[in-house]
Structure 1
Amino acid sequence: MRNTQILFPQELYSKYLSTINGIHFTQREIDVIACVLNGWSTKRIASLLLLKPTAKGKIKHQPKKTSKNIQSINPRTVQTHIRNIMSKLDCNTREGIIDFIEASDRLIHLRKYYSLLRIEIAFEKSLKDIFKLRHEQEIILLIVHKKDKNTKNPLLSHLKAHLKLVGITISSTVRKKESEYAIYILPKLDEKNDISSLLEKVKKSHKEIFFVLQEKESHKNIPEKFRDLKTIDFTKYENYYFSFIKLLKILCPNLEFEKVVTDFKDKYKKIHGSIEFQQPQPLLKEKEPENHFTHHLRWVLLFVPFIVVFMGYWFVTRVWNPDDANHPIRPDLVIPKKSVLLDRPQLIAQIDDKFKGHEDIQTIALVGPGGAGKTTLARQYAHQQKVKVVWEINAETQESLRTSFENLAQALVATEGDKKILRAIQEIKNPAEREDKIIQFVKKRLKSHLHWFIIYDNIEKFLDIQKHFPHDFKTWGQGKIILTTRDGTIENNKHVNSIIQVGELTPEQKLSLFTKIMTNDHNHSLKLALIEETKIFLKALPPYPLDVSVAAYYLKATNIPYAAYLKSVTENNKDFINVQENLLKEAGDYTKTRYGIITLSLQHILDTHKDFSDLLLFISMLDSQNIPQSLLRTYKSETVVDNFIYNLKKYSLITNQSSSSPFGSTFSIHRSVQGISLAYLIKILNLKKKPQLFQGTFKLLDKTISEIISDENISKMKALVTHSEIFLSHDNLITSEMRGGIAGKLGCFYFYFGKYLLSKQLLEKGLKILDNLENKDYARIAQMLTFLAIVYRELGNYEKARSLFEQSLVIYKDILDQQWGIVWVSVHLGNIYREMGNYEKGRLLIEHALTRQKNKFSGDPIQFAWTLLHLGNLYRDLGNFEGAKNLYEKSLEIYRKKFNDNEHIGAAWVLSHLGSVQKELGNYQEAKISLEKSLKIYSNHFDKLHLKVACASFYLGNVYKELGDYEKAKNFIEQALLAYEKNYGKDDLHTAKALISLGQIYLLKGQVETSESLMFKASRIVQKTKHPDKYIILEALAGLFIKKSADANDKSMKQQSRDFKARATDYLKQALEIIKTNFPEDSPHLIRIQGKLKNLSQE
């Protein structure tokens, strides 16, 4: 009789281990029992079974070019198997499982099973490694064997499965000619078959044929004429794996996998050498009969020692220690090993502090986004607990919640009576009744313990766990609870005593965790240059343990550059996500990636309300920080928006909320969340092919910006500028109309911020885009032309500004017939003529615009105030200071009434110009007050080099000059000079005026040489200009030489005094000619210059 050797764990299971002492076990349960028997932890069991194929060696799915058949199991699944085994054995500890096996007659078989299982898994891992090395074209292999429906051949099933693991396609039909190789599995010796005809057919269509031997003598079945073919011997136990490798070398002759084979041989020797198993040999001959009494006596004497040992063990474990009460009741709470565990002592201390109360049941909620480390933190704290009952409830789904509670019930069994009660409950057919009874069972058993500690992990809604949640110590007993959840609204729950936000990691914590994983915590520090590079890399990642860990494991496994990893994160393709998930599985029992967590939450939100997709798209197109809630309320109803924000908070997608924005309440989401959100929406809404879906976002943003610009609300502009920039950055999603429109609006923002070159660039870009559109938006084009003209004016290019204003005016008049636009551009055009020195033309344009406002339309009161100010500027330049003052005061009153405060930028603008005429009228104290108010408002919005600030500083410096405070005067004028040089350039009239004022201050301080140097520098600037304001420089130079003449006279230098006096007279005469040409006959400038000339002639 032939002794058949057992080759695989499946065979051993089927023959000896499917039933032990009358109790049936699944093969997976036997896997787990074998590992428990060898002292393995839950996490280690999961890692061992990571590569185990599906039952009976069959592969469920076999892709052509990928090897994804090796499945993993979760440590929580292992826990469930252990609980099921305990339930079958009526025990509640691992020791109980071990006791059962050791008391059975299957211990030796389980030892062998464990050895075979480890060998098989090691082999399949090696095949997976070989698959990665394959770059050859596809190999198709024909397997020919005798088919028997009643008997399954384990050699055949494993051979097929293992060939598939290395990517070899199996064919079973002789007629197919695509395969080059064929193998024939020879039948066993007692299976006589004529195989010649079949072999002839196979030989004709295949390059090579091999025979596989199942038994030593089966080669005798090979027909004489085929005995020259290659034969591979699979008859020995250890030969299967190495015979398979021999076959693989024939099939893949160019593949170099010796290192993989060597590694497997080493593992094989270690495993196989650790345990030897001999199957009980059958009797070869009958023995002589023996005396009946002697036979029984021998067996009695043989078993006496075993009975003594067993009774002693039973007494110690069941009598002296009547229940398993001294064993702590707790599952395997898996946390990362110490070498890669992020210590968070501050949070542990917070939990300790919150639990210092004396409530009978205390509940703390750890709240934070997925991957923040909530579960790990809760488990770390649980490991520190000294109480007898420590348990974790998986509250992620109703099914996992019920299963966890049943496992807790099983663990709380302490007596035979408990076992009977629980068994009766488990036999209840009605699920709802059975669930209620289990809850009651757990309540009663928990109350019997002095203290307990329970984690409810990953709660989505508290309502989901309410039935299973201990809330009354009278029925549940005294204990502590930690909830982990992403639901930021759980703080409102009456059962939760405290919440702890598990928030973002600090840069130092991110670097520490990353370094630990990359170096296995071997105290290897990164090089200084690499540290800085790593800090920059980590800054781009979401600041949570999940993201840092998966990045470290990925980089460690692939050794790709930081930039390549970040690119993959942005793209989030399926292969990248799969690799991340596999790495997380290998590192622990957490398998959710950032993309998976966020997209699942987003889908829940989208399913909640039909309008949420619009709102989610809106916030995904803006900056992720400080999103104004008022914008969303303009888009959708207040109730919908409040519900939307509630849901964002519920899934911990909101990182911060604030009410300090000029828009009121704002909220922020993490940039990575926003990026994933937009990518997800692009995919599910097909946004790349449907840009019209962005219209709602564009129109809302465009309308809001227009209102802000109209109100000249600088604070709101600053709050919205980044959102507009981010919207514009989605160049591949938005239409040309959107791109041109928002670029123009951004250009307007930057004009108000004083960033004129950037403003010019954006406005010109926007105009170019809009001009190329088939359906032209003339209203938008005219507005952008006007703002571009204003920018050119601020840059000192008056001719270009005038040309653009005139183009815009034509559109408003001839195409749009828009009254407010005509008035708006007419006033600007009048102002540019004023700036160019053509006061009369400027006056006519502005006064005509004012008349149009009064007669043809009421318009905006702010536009009326704005027109009054520009007319006041013209009156001031013409020397009509009282007329200018009256216009300024009317304008100021409108601004204050409209905005109900004195802090609006428009009020600052009017106050600045009002102060300038108050100074000209000699009201220096009033001028000082007006200008200081103006400067204070400007300083709240702009930096010191902004032209609005420079203008007010220039006027205030001249007021201090008149008041005799020369040091303050000098400081303000110098500040204005820096701004003018930066914005206008060193050769502009504004710069020349500031140099003159500074020279006058030095002259008044008696520093004549410095004064002269500054004034002549100004003179050189205006030497070629025809601007009427040139008279200001000439009049100042005359003042310089009048002073020098007086000083020379005091020193009795008569001739020099007369020469200086002549030069002063010459400068005044030049100034007088300019004034007569450009100013009215009653101009105060004319009267003043004439007076100075008269005084000089009389001296």
Structure 2
Amino acid sequence: MKAFGNQYIIISFLVISNFSCSSGWKYFYDESHSDLFAGKIYSAINKAQMAHYTAIESMGNYTKTGLYLAYLYFLIDKDMDSIYILRNMLSIGEKDKLQDVHVALSRYYISMYHFKTARYHLSRSGCGSRDTHRCTEMRIYDSMYHGSYKHLLTMIMELERDKRYLDNLYNDDYIGYINYHILISSIMRDVGNYRKSATYLERVRDDVAKRLGERNVFYADILRNQAIQCFLDGNYDEVIEKCKRSKWIYLHNTDIENYGIYFCDIYAEAARAIKEHRSMDKQYIYEAIKYLKGIYERDVPEIANLLVLEASIENTRNNYSKAIMLLNRAERIYRNMDLDGHIAYGLIKRSMGVALINSGKVNRGIKCLAEAKDIIRKSLGVENEHYINTMFKLAWIYSYTHMYKKAEETILEIKNNNYYKMSDEKRKVELVEVRCQLSTTRGNLKNAEKLCEEALKRKMEYYSKDDSEVAKAIVRMAIVESKMGKDERAIGLFKKALDIYKNNMREYRQVIVEVLNMLSYVYERRGMPGKAVELEYEIRSIEKNVKLQ
């Protein structure tokens, strides 16, 4: 099982063909599949070995059994054992099936980032001469690991246009069918299409539960991928629950040590850390990195992605210097592997830009965001959530830092290309808010007030009245009213926002302090020092509680 970026992929190397079968190897082969689906990995491996040795003795079907045995070793992260089996088969395998062995080796080497070796075996496989689908699959794997997502969606459409492809997978290679859905789901997640990613996982999860039950490694892998989805959606309770179930399946049914177990521990800990407003326990990250280095014997993107995850936790706690340090390490890993054009590298640059800006290093932050935008555009194009998100971040920072011309150009590009329509409808509201901020910074308060009212009204349509997004819009409105000298209205709006934020004091305490400071300033300007002093005491009380925790 190999993890890459936010994706976790099982690569199937089963090549199902209509071979003539002798009863000996076929018995062990079928029994091994039964054990595999039941979650008994080591028993499945033992029977697969028997099937392979029996097939070699009978001088038939040993390519099929060898590919299957290599795949099982790959499931438990025994990569070199898998490669040894396959390389041995190049000398003893059935000559008319050697192309399948080269294809399998190519996929393994891609997953281990040995791209030159992978392409050598791909060139020897005759990919495309007999099976255009196999060739398309190989291009998908190669593009995915290189981070060249721009044409991935087109290749996926090529596969899915042929309905027979998935039907054949479902009927002849069910493991391949499961892996295909997990792979496409991870690709959709990488390009920011979270809804479609979730659809692929739900579809295959229900089918696996019905056909194989809920106690096999494939069901655990699906749960694990759904945990990533929940984490991105901010549903941390679901992350913890899915990781718990997935880990239980790995431990109680497979009794193996693989990256899936470390993954479950890490994401569950990350979710708990966010909920409890603390840093992650370093031991989880340390153990996973040690395990990955034992497999790859070097720093690889999987390790970089763990550092990015830890950095995201530190960002939520406003520990920007620590987040920047972690992101620098992650960035260095991608550069050292010549993957600085990878979409994941662009996302690291974007996170770095945000952390730098929040830490006060605005010019460096803007430079990082601009670099991220270029990398994402080259790798993925402009019609995706990552590019839209980066464009909006640039528009916001340009608006805040008085870079009026660049802010206007960015807003105009967003409007003209309708980026916000390619994403959630809530992007339309965000565009109004960016324009409001730009008007506020430029001193065009009348227009800012009008835009703030529009944004607040539309947010009330999308969110519940006590949602933090509504509170954020109210605060922005209060700031504009305060600048216009409408202090009474500003005070009322600040108090209204505080009432919403205080429903979750633990999560929004930093925001509450900021709003209290703004309200205190308005009171002082209004000649109400007593009220301002009361707020100062409240602020100190909150900050004291934070230090104690």
- TM-score category of the 2 structures, normalised to the smaller one: 0.5 to 0.7
Shift of 1:778: 0.4
Cα 1:1026–1:1018 change in 2 (3 A) is: same
C-alpha distance in 2 between matches for 1:1032 and 1:874: 27
Structure-1 residue corresponding to 2:509: 1087
Does residue 713 of the first structure (1) align with residue 147 of the second (2)? Answer: no
Question: How much does 1:949 deviate?
Answer: 0.4
**8 Å Cα contact 1:935-1:949 kept in structure 2:** yes
Asked if residue 756 in structure 1 is aligned to residue 174 in structure 2, the reply is no
Following superposition, the deviation at residue 973 of structure 1 comes to 0.7
Select 2:166's aligned residue among 771, 776, 799.
Answer: 771
CA distance in 2, matches of 1:1032, 1:1072: 23
Q: Distance in 2 between matches of 1:985 and 1:1068?
A: 43
Following TM superposition, by how much is the alpha carbon of 1:933 offset from its aligned partner in structure 2, in angstroms? 1.9
User: Is 2:193 aligned against 1:797?
Assistant: yes
Give me the whole-angstrom Cα distance separating, in 1, the residues matched to 2:273 and 2:435: 22
**Distance in 2 separating the partners of 1:721 and 1:1006:** 50
Q: 1:879 to 1:1057 in 2, by over 3 A?
A: farther
State whether residues 789 and 801 of structure 1, in contact with CA within 8 Å, keep that contact through their aligned partners in structure 2. Answer: yes
Corresponding residue for 2:97?
695
1:1067 and 1:713 mapped to 2: Cα distance? 54
Whole-angstrom CA distance in 1 between matches of 2:494 and 2:89: 70
Q: Which amino acid aligns with 2:309?
A: H
Partner of 1:704: 105
Change in Cα spacing, 1:1055 to 1:741, as seen in structure 2 (3 Å) is closer
CA distance 1:795–1:1091, change in 2 (3 Å)? same
Which of 512, 519, 529 is matched with 1:1097 structurally?
519
Q: Does 1:863 align with 2:285?
A: no
Q: Provide the secondary structure at the position in 2 that maps to 1:796.
A: coil
Q: CA deviation at 1:701?
A: 2.8
Alignment-mate amino acid for residue 96 of structure 2: F
Partner of 1:813: 209
Change (3 A) 1:1095 1:925: closer
State the match for 1:783 in structure 2: 179
The one of 277, 287, 308 aligned to 1:912? 308
For 1:637 and 1:728, locate their aligned partners in 2 and report how far apart those are by CA, in whole Å: 17
Contact 2:185 2:197 in 1 (8 A): yes
Deviation at 1:1063, TM superposition (A): 8.9
Q: In structure 1, what residue type is equivalent to 2:144?
A: F
Report the AA paired with residue 1087 of structure 1: R
Structure 1 pair 906/1031, CA: closer, same or farther in 2 (3 Å)?
farther
- Cα deviation, 1:242-263, whole Å, max 9, x if unaligned, reads xxxxxxxxxxxxxxxxxxxxxx
Question: Taking CA–CA contacts closer than 8 Å with sequence separation of 6 or more, which of the two structures ends up with the larger relative contact order?
Answer: 2
Which of the numbers 817, 832, 853 marks the counterpart of 2:250? Answer: 853
Per the TM alignment, residue 955 of structure 1 is displaced from its structure 2 partner at its CA by 1.8
Task: Rate the CA distance shift 1:875–1:946 in 2: closer, same or farther, 3 A.
Answer: farther
Q: 1:993/1:783 Cα in 2 relative to 1: closer, same or farther (>3 Å)?
A: same
CA-to-aligned-CA distance 1:665-694 (integer Å, 9 cap, x gap): xxxxxxxxxxxxxxxxxxxxxxxxxx9743
Q: TM-score, normalised by structure 1?
A: 0.31
Q: Pick from 1014, 1033, 1058: which aligns with 2:484?
A: 1058
Shift of 1:751: 1.7
> Cα 1:702–1:907, aligned 2, differ >3 Å: closer, same or farther?
same
Larger relative strand fraction = 1
Please list the CA deviations of residues 179-217 of structure 1 after superposition, one character each: whole Å capped at 9, or x if unmatched: xxxxxxxxxxxxxxxxxxxxxxxxxxxxxxxxxxxxxxx
Q: 1:950: Cα distance to partner?
A: 0.8
Q: Give the Cα–Cα distance (whole angstroms) in 2 for the partners of residues 747 and 718 of structure 1.
A: 16
Letter in 1 for 2:221: W
Maintained 8 Å contact 1:792/1:800: yes
- Measure how far apart 1:968 and its partner are: 2.4
Q: Distance in 1 between matches of 2:119 and 2:264?
A: 27
In 1, Cα distance between equivalents of 2:134 and 2:422: 41
Describe the superposition over 1:827-847 as per-residue Cα deviations: whole angstroms up to 9, x where unpaired. 222323444565554553344
How many residues are paired up? Answer: 404
The letter for the 2-side match of 1:820 is V
**Is 2:352–2:368's contact at 8 Å kept on the other side of the alignment?**
yes
Is the CA contact 1:1072–1:1090 (under 8 Å) kept in the aligned structure 2?
no
Letter in structure 2 aligned against 1:894: Y
Deviation of residue 1072 (structure 1)?
Answer: 9.2
Q: Describe the SS at the equivalent of 1:882.
A: coil
* Higher gyration radius (CA): 1
Corresponding residue for 1:949? 345
Percent identity of equivalent pairs:
12
Q: List per-residue Cα deviations over 1:655-674 (Å, max 9, x = no partner).
A: xxxxxxxxxxxxxxxxxxxx
C-alpha deviation, 1:849, in angstroms = 2.1
2:231 and 2:271 in contact (8 A); partners too: yes
Displacement of 1:801 in angstroms is 1.8
**Could you say what secondary structure the match of 1:756 adopts?**
coil
Letter aligned with residue 694 of structure 1: D
What displacement does 1:893 show? 4.2
SS of equivalent residue, structure 2 residue 279:
helix
Task: Write out aligned runs for 1:629-1028 (5 A).
Answer: 634-636=86-88, 693-698=95-100, 700-705=101-106, 707-708=108-109, 712-714=111-113, 716-721=114-119, 723-724=121-122, 727-731=125-129, 734=130, 740-741=133-134, 743-763=136-156, 765=158, 768=162, 770-773=165-168, 776-817=172-213, 819-836=216-233, 838=235, 840-871=237-268, 874=271, 880-883=277-280, 887-901=284-298, 903-941=299-337, 943-981=339-377, 986=382, 988-999=384-395, 1001-1002=397-398, 1005-1007=401-403, 1010-1011=406-407, 1014=410
Alignment match, 1:409: none
Cα-to-partner distance string for 1:711-757 (whole Å, 9 max, x where unaligned): x422x1453146426635452xx4x5xx6456434422322222335
TM-superposed CA distance for 1:871, in Å, is 4.2
CA separation of 1:777 and 1:1017: change in aligned 2, threshold 3 A: same
8 Å contact kept, 2:127–2:134: no
Q: Deviations over 1:745-774 (max 9, x none)?
A: 442232222233543444555574543549
Q: Which amino acid aligns with 1:853?
A: Y
Q: Which amino acid aligns with 1:744?
A: E
User: Whole-Å Cα distance in 1 between the matches of residues 269 and 116 of structure 2?
Assistant: 29
Which runs of structure 2 are paired with 1:262-661 in the superposition (5 Å)?
Answer: 634-636=86-88
The 1:996/1:796 distance shift into structure 2, 3 A limit, reads closer
Deviations 1:23-56 (A, max 9, x none): xxxxxxxxxxxxxxxxxxxxxxxxxxxxxxxxxx
Q: TM-score, normalised on structure 2?
A: 0.58
Maintained 8 Å contact 1:869/1:888: yes
User: Aligned pair in 2 of structure 1 residues 945, 1037: CA closer, same or farther (>3 Å)?
Assistant: farther
What is the alpha-carbon distance in structure 2 between the residues aligned to residue 961 and residue 837 of structure 1?
23
Whether the aligned pair in 2 keeps the contact of 1:1030 and 1:1071 (CA below 8 Å) is no
Unaligned runs of 5+ in 1: 1-610, 615-629, 642-690
Pairwise CA distance, 1:796: 3.0
Q: Distance in 1 between matches of 2:291 and 2:412?
A: 43
1:867 & 1:724 partners in 2: Cα distance? 33
Q: CA deviation at 1:776?
A: 1.0
Corresponding residue SS for 1:894:
helix
Whole-angstrom distance in 2 between the partners of 1:1028 and 1:893: 42
C-alpha contact 1:744 1:784 (8 A) present in aligned 2: no
Q: SS where residue 184 of structure 2 aligns?
A: helix
Instruction: Deviation per CA, 1:568-593: give whole Å up to 9, x if none.
Output: xxxxxxxxxxxxxxxxxxxxxxxxxx
